[in-house]
Amino acid sequence: MSNRLDVIIFGASGYTGQYVIEEMARKGKQYGFKWGIAGRTVDKLKQVLQQASKFTGIENLDSTIDTITANVTNKQSLVDMCARTKVLINCVGPYRHYGEPVVQACLEARTHYIDISGEPQFLETIQLQYDSQAAERETIIVGSCGFDSLVADLGVETIRQECDQKNLDIAFIESFLSMKHAKTTGGLIHYATWESAVYGVSHAKELKNIRKQLFQQKLPYSKYKIDRRPIFKTALNGEPTWAIPFPGSDKSVVQRTQYFNYTQLNKKPIRFQPYLQISSLFAVIQILFFASIFSLLTKFKLGIQCLLKYPGLFSGGCVTHEGPTRAECEQASFKMTFVTHTENKQKLTHEFTGPDPGYLGTSKMLIACAVMLLKENDRLPVKGGVLTPGAAFGRTILMDYLEKEGFSMTRK
């Protein structure tokens, strides 16, 4: 591997890929990494590098960074791409449609793989089908390395380690996510994110059979429970707020980490429930209205076609093909509040905060995971396998790294 590049970013000309490249340019310069970008056409890749030079101030990226032609429909091009790097960052989604061939190519080339998928069906199918092969070939495969679902997974793992040091026995952890966005006329969410969500929800029924095969051992979770209604009002740090269950991949990713911790490391599993923090009952009603329509339409073909054709209409204007502007991303931020309940009925509160979760923050988290694979590989729990971010990087300096990049994890 000595002649390989350190990192290649595949899908570099996409919306999120632009931000990932800019972050890679900064870290490549800082650490002296050799890196490249890959996609279907070299001209587009050169344009993306020129844009990255403009926004990072790092000159001549289009002439100094390698560009590689690769296409998900051409298996050999994927294998050739993966054979040129130590770590492959995959930004091509929806992953249920385009992710598996890239994972296969990484395994053939013995190249470590990370992505930003928030699609449980894809993530769990890849673990079910390729974990043994990845272990045999000493290749690390880690999905969900962006906001979905690194924040929740790393947050729970950080709290577990803190409680272990203090001899506190965790029974249950809840998380409450709140986000701040600038006023926008261009939408908060890019269409590619919406597309992944549509296909993910429409195929959710597949998960039952996947999980039956994947989780064959029942975990001895604590019997400690909190009775919550689907919609409830609570107080966080003394401030009243509404909460509803968070529909993303956080719960499933954290559960996979707990399964790994118990079956591989003999650690007690932690029950976890994520929520979305809502400012008012009116906002709750708005969200549930659009969520109900979304859920209904994903159940049949014509409904799915409508969701994909009219994303703005069915998202209340939140989703556009253009996505938020750079200025809007720079004004956005998130806060995830973790409430930890111990077996002796203590309650601990932590806050994980950071920049724009969708794109700027996700790019920083994704590149951070690549840095861990290159710099902290000896601290990973296994040499190869399909892992979650918490299982893979929970024992590295990832949290310390992120705290230098505008994120923070604090005890309240």
Tens-level pLDDT at each residue, the chain (412 residues) = 668 999 999 998 888 999 999 999 999 999 999 999 999 999 999 999 999 999 999 999 999 999 999 999 999 999 999 999 999 999 999 999 999 999 999 999 999 999 999 999 999 999 999 999 999 999 999 999 999 999 999 999 999 999 999 999 999 999 999 999 876 656 788 888 899 899 989 988 899 999 999 999 999 999 888 888 889 999 998 899 999 999 989 999 999 999 999 999 999 999 999 999 999 999 999 999 999 999 999 999 999 999 999 999 999 888 988 888 899 999 999 999 999 999 999 999 999 999 999 899 999 999 999 999 999 999 999 999 999 999 999 999 999 999 999 999 999 8
DSSP reduced 3-state for 411: strand
- Between CA 394 and CA 264 the distance in angstroms is 14
How many residues does this entry show for the chain?
412
**Domain map of the chain by residue range?**
5-146+360-406, 147-356
8 Å CB contact between 268 and 257: no
Q: Please report how many Cα atoms fall inside a 13 Å half-sphere around the Cα of residue 104, on the Cβ side.
A: 14
Query: What H or E segment, with its residue span, contains residue 219?
Result: none
The reply to whether CATH 3.10.50.40 applies to domain 5-146+360-406 is no
- Give yes or no for a contact between 89 and 20, defined as CB atoms under 8 angstroms apart: yes
Query: Could you tell me the two tokens for 253?
Result: 């990713």
Identity of the amino acid at 167: N
Query: Which CATH architecture fits 147-356?
Result: 2-Layer Sandwich (3.30)
What is the pLDDT, as a whole number, of residue 122? 96
Which region holds residue 239: left if phi is over 0, alpha if psi is between -120 and 50, else beta? beta
Sign, CA dihedral 47-49-54-59, equals negative
Check residue 189 and give its pLDDT.
Answer: 86
pLDDT of residue 348: 96
Find the helix or strand (DSSP H, E) in which 273 lies: strand 271-278
CA angle 150, 272, 215 (to 5 degrees): 85
pLDDT for 184 equals 60
Closest CA to 80 of 135, 142, 8, 138: 8
- Amino acid letter at 54? K
| Kind plus residue range of the DSSP H or E element containing 68 | strand 66-69
pLDDT recorded at residue 1: 65
- DSSP H/E element including 117: none
Which pTM does this prediction carry? Answer: 0.95
Tokens of 261: 């911790």
**Phi/psi at 388 (5° precision):** -90, 165
Place of tokens 């000896």: 378
